[in-house]
Structures are given as structure tokens and as C-alpha cells.
Chain A
Amino acid sequence: MNKQTKVWLVLAITLSLLALGSACGGGTKPDTNANGGAGTDAGAAPYNGPTGSIAGVISFEGAPPAPKKIDTSADAACGKANPNLSTDDTIVTDGKLANVFVYIKDGTVDAGKKIGEYAWSTPTTAVQLDQKGCHYSPHVLGVQTNQKISITNSDQTQHNIHPSPKNNPEWNQTQANGAPPIEKSFARAETLIPVKCNQHPWMKAYIGVLKTPFFDVSETNGAYEIKGVPPGKYTVIAWREGGADGQTKQMDVTVTANAAGKADFAFGSAQTTVNTSLKVMPALELPMMHK
């Protein structure tokens, strides 16, 4: 083997080892988000005292991104049901943001116990999730652990419901038009579980699962209200979709009996676009496609 060949081989081997070594480097584990709201201990007693509420308005600062048109050519039924189908990830009306999931993460009731130390019964009524106009409706919803979600298909086409939880078993099920409702539940708290349709990849929904009933989703006027909250001091989280695990804001709120604790949140336009630049090294940024 001549010298030139040896040089080529050594260089190629070195680069290959570098490539394999960097690929095998420990990556960060995905954030499993164990903060699925306050927990409930086994054998805990229910809360029977006075209650208040937490209410507020979610605002959107700056110009909201325009909805993006969706290409429905792969399924004519979607185009027929909704000729102007567009994205519904950022719904802003008069500066107010809809579909923000607001919940009590943790807190202490005035009596001294943590909110998770009480027993919160699971509602027997199912929460509805419909597939209509090739969108999920509602886009964001909340349930308690083990509470039933009743999934229906109101479209003239087949859908495929695929939640991707981190703390709960994953499942994937097809639902034809006219098929009976699919009833599912999640046993563990998780905020928030993304849901998608593998048939129509633009379809997305998010399900917040909590052990307590203290959550709400903001309306089109940005308003939300979490009712039946025991007086006490709480950490309240407002979550909206965007980025790898959503965007969150946090606030400490004090609730008194028969009154509403105020918690307004604001999200800005700078947080809605996914950053597409690649940071290869701390001091070097390669600007790519910024939208």
C-alpha cells in the first residue's frame, strides 16, 4: 500500500470515528413534564370547604401570524368540507388569545394542606373531541385522570387519532365516518399530550390531563375561569402550543373564599415562530431559513 493510499485511509477512518462518536454522544432526555398538576394521595379526603376561583384574560402582544392555508388535495372530502382550511394554532381576536390551557400546578390551601393532598373525584361525564372539517374540535381540551374522552368523526372521510403521551401508553386508532365514538382515558397526569391524525398531518389537538379539576381553556375573547378553587396560594401555569413542548407562563395567585383571584397572561408574537437557526458551537450560529 503506498503512502498516498495510507493517508486517504487514515483520514477517512478518523472522520468516520468522529461521526460515530458524535452520534453516540449522550443526548438530553426529553422533558417528561412530571408537573401534570397537583397530585392526589391514596386515601385522601375530599375538600368540603368554601371556594373561590381564578380568572383572567390571555392577551397576544404584537401582530399575530396569519393562518396558513392547508393543502387538502390529498383528500377531496376535506377540501369539500372546509374549502378555506387553514391552521388554527394561533387564534387572536382583538388582541386576545384563544386555546391557552391554564391550570393550577401546585399550591397550599389555607387549611395548610397541599392541594394534591385532597381527593378530587373523577367526573363521570365524558369530554367530547370531534373531528369536523378536518380539524379537531376543540383544539385544546382538559380532562382529569381516568376521565373519559369521547372521540367522534363528523367528516365524510376516515381519520386516525394518534396521541403521543410521555407518561401514558401511546395508542393509534382509525375512525371511519359514521363509526361509533371512541372512548379513551389517560391514567396519569400530563401537560399536554399532543394528538395528531396520521391521515391528515395538519390536524393537531392537545389534551391536558390533571388529577385535579383546576384547569380551563381560554375562549376566543381570551377569558378563562378556574372554578371551585379552595382559598389558598397557588402556582398557575398558562400553556400554549409552539416549540418542542409548548410555551408556558407562570404566576403565583392568592384565592380567597367567594372571590376570583386574578391572573392575566400575555404571549408575544416573537414566541410563535420556531427558531430555525442551528447553533453548532456556542459562539457560532449559522443563520438558515428564518420565517
Chain B
Amino acid sequence: MSKGLNRFAILVACATFFLIIAGALVTSNDAGLATPDWPTSNGLLFPPMVGNLFYEHGHRMIATTVGLLTIGLAIYIRVKEKRYWIWRLGMLALALVIVQGLLGALTVKMMLPLGVSAAHATLAQLFFCTTVSIAVFTSRSWIEARTLPDETGSPLRYMCTFALAIIFVQLILGATLRHSAKWDQHLPVQMVVAHIIGAFGVTIALGGTAFSVLRRHKGEAFLTRPATIALVLLVVQLFLGVAAYLTRIGSPNDPQPLHPMIGITVAHVACGALVFATTIVLTLRTYRVLPASEAAMKMAARPQES
């Protein structure tokens, strides 16, 4: 296990989280088209960062940094890791960040079509979770973890996976909602209702999963810590969602995008990313330490690498 690799993976994940915040600031400030060209901004690599160009070009600069960090991570994994499947994960992260950059270009060139913008926002979350996964797999706690005695392991694995899927659907709904109307336009009612229903789904799925983990594996910090964090983040996210809605519906009456609408909507996006990431951590860890069902174990023809 390489401590340096793990720390670098954590750095990339943190930088990606920062990039998600930068991207959310672009959307909330309506800065997506502050410059019509890509990858330069108004023909320059370093334009004057005034007005909304500060957010748009700033986002591109942070994205470039994350792209370079991801290249570094893929190389670092190749050099230090013996587990071939983690190297493939590193290459997947690299592919995702390249596609994400191209989506960013496409959304500017096509003047922010809803599908491309929503895909760009959704892929950002997927890429973030890939970097978080690499950080998990390269951590000491993952490598040193041992299987826990738990006859109900399989249901918890399913519950975690299902919660993850529900959260991902909710992220897609949220991204689509955010990009379906500018700050000076009303949000489409159907999308708002869908996102609220999705919030109920996430609350039930993730809440039920986290409580099940806390009840069945008291004292096992490897599982209870991400479960607790996920629950706390879920509660915060629900409050942020209500606040984001209340501030956002008033924004058509404002002369320009203003705080607190900007801050709260950005916080809602960021917290959503953290909920997704924490659930990924919990899910991976349940697969790591909880036994599979008998049928699954019989199907596994060869020993699994940790």
C-alpha cells in the first residue's frame, strides 16, 4: 500500500469537489456563455477576470488543473499499484475527465442545450465518485479491513447499491432542473415536483440503509462512520433543498443573480455531491467487509483481490 498514492488520490478527489463548486457557481451566476469560444476565453488563455468571465474562465482553469491531476493520478497508480483493476479505474477516471471537458466545450459551442448541460453536470458527479473510489481503494483501512460476521450481509449490500442508484437518479433530476431555466425564469413545475419526489426516495432509501448499518454494525467504525456522515449530510441537504427552492423562486424578481440564492443553490449542489460520495464509500465498504450470499460465493470461481 502506498501512502503517497492514497494522499494524492484524496487530493484529486478534493480538487474535483472544488471544481464541482466552481461549476455550480457558473450556473448560479448565469455565466455559462460569458465567453462564446473554447478552450480560450475571448481568444485568450488568461483574459481579464471581470464580470461573469471570472466564474466561467475560473471554472475552466480549475478543470484544467483537475485534468492534469487526473493524468498524474493515472500515472502514479500505474507506477505504484500492483492491483491491475485499480489501474483500470485510474484510466476510467482519465477517460471521464476528458469526456467531461469535451462536454463542457460542446455545451458552450451549442449555447447550453439542456441535454448537454445536464449531462455535463451529471458526469461531474460520476467523475467525482470515481476519484473518491480510488481514494477508498488505496486507503489503509480498505486494505487492512477484515470480513465481519453478518448473516444479513447481502441485503445491506443491495440496500446500499439501491440507495446509490436512487441518489444518482436524483442527481440527474437535479441537474436537469437546474439547467431547465435561467435565474430570471420560473422553474418548470413538473421538474420541481419530480425532484421533490426524488428527495423523498433518497430519504427513504439512504435513511433506511444508514439506520440499518448503524443498528446492525454498532461499533464497526469502518461502516458506521460513513453511514453517520451520510445521514447528517442527508438532513443538511434536505434543508438546503428547501432553502434553494425558496430563494430560487424569487430570483425572477431580482435584477441579477444575487445571494443568498447563489450561495444556497451552490451549497445544495456541493452537498449533493458529498451525499453521493459518502454513499459510494459506504457501499464499497459494505462489499468489502460483509459476506456475500452463498450463491454469490459459489459463483466466484477465483479468490478476489482486496
Contacts and interface: CB of A to CB of B under 8 A. Distances in A.
B145 interface: no
B303 interface: no
A274 B50 contact: no
A74 B58 CA distance: 14
A19 B198 contact: yes
Contact of B36 (A77, A160, A278): A160
Contacts of A27: 188, 190
A48 interface: no
Nearest to A162: B33
Interface in A70-126: 70-71, 74-78, 86-87
Interface residues of B, number: 58
Interface string B226-263: 00000000000000000000100110111111100000
B148 to A, nearest CB: 18
A9 B160 CA distance: 11
Interface string B52-70: 1110000000000000000
A244 B184 CA distance: 9
Where chain B touches its partner, the secondary structure class is: helix
A63 interface: no
B119 interface: no
A77 B48 CA distance: 12
Given A158-B42, A198-B31, A12 B204 contact: yes
B246 A288 contact: yes
A5 B152 CA distance: 11
Contact of A280 (B33, B189, B256): B189
B222 interface: no
Q: Which of A160, A176, A199, A280 has the most CB of B within 10 A?
A: A199
A158 B48 CA distance: 9
B107 to A, nearest CB: 12
A80 to B, nearest CB: 12
A46 interface: no
A276 B34 contact: no
Interface in B155-177: 155, 158-159, 162-163, 166, 169-170, 173, 176
A264 B154 CA distance: 75
Contact of A23 (B51, B111, B176, B258): B176
A199 B189 contact: no
A11 B163 CA distance: 12
A176 to B, nearest CB: 7
Contacts of B212: 5
B223 to A, nearest CB: 17
A201 B194 contact: no
A162 B108 CA distance: 13
Contacts of B51: 74-75, 78, 157-158, 199-200
A25 interface: yes
Interface string B67-87: 000000000000000000000
A170 B162 CA distance: 42
B191 interface: yes
B50 A158 contact: yes
Nearest to A7: B208
A33 interface: no
Interface of A: 1-2, 5, 8-9, 11-12, 15-16, 18-20, 22-23, 25, 27, 68-71, 74-78, 86-87, 157-158, 160, 162, 170, 172-174, 176, 198-202, 244, 273-274, 276, 278-280, 288-289, 291
22 contacts: A2-B152, A9-B158, A15-B201, A16-B169, A16-B201, A19-B198, A22-B193, A23-B195, A71-B256, A74-B50, A74-B52, A74-B54, A157-B51, A158-B42, A158-B48, A170-B111, A198-B32, A201-B256, A276-B253, A278-B249, A280-B193, A288-B249
Interface of B: 29-36, 42, 48, 50-54, 111, 152, 154-155, 158-159, 162-163, 166, 169-170, 173, 176, 183-186, 188-195, 197-198, 200-201, 204-205, 208, 212, 246, 249-250, 252-258
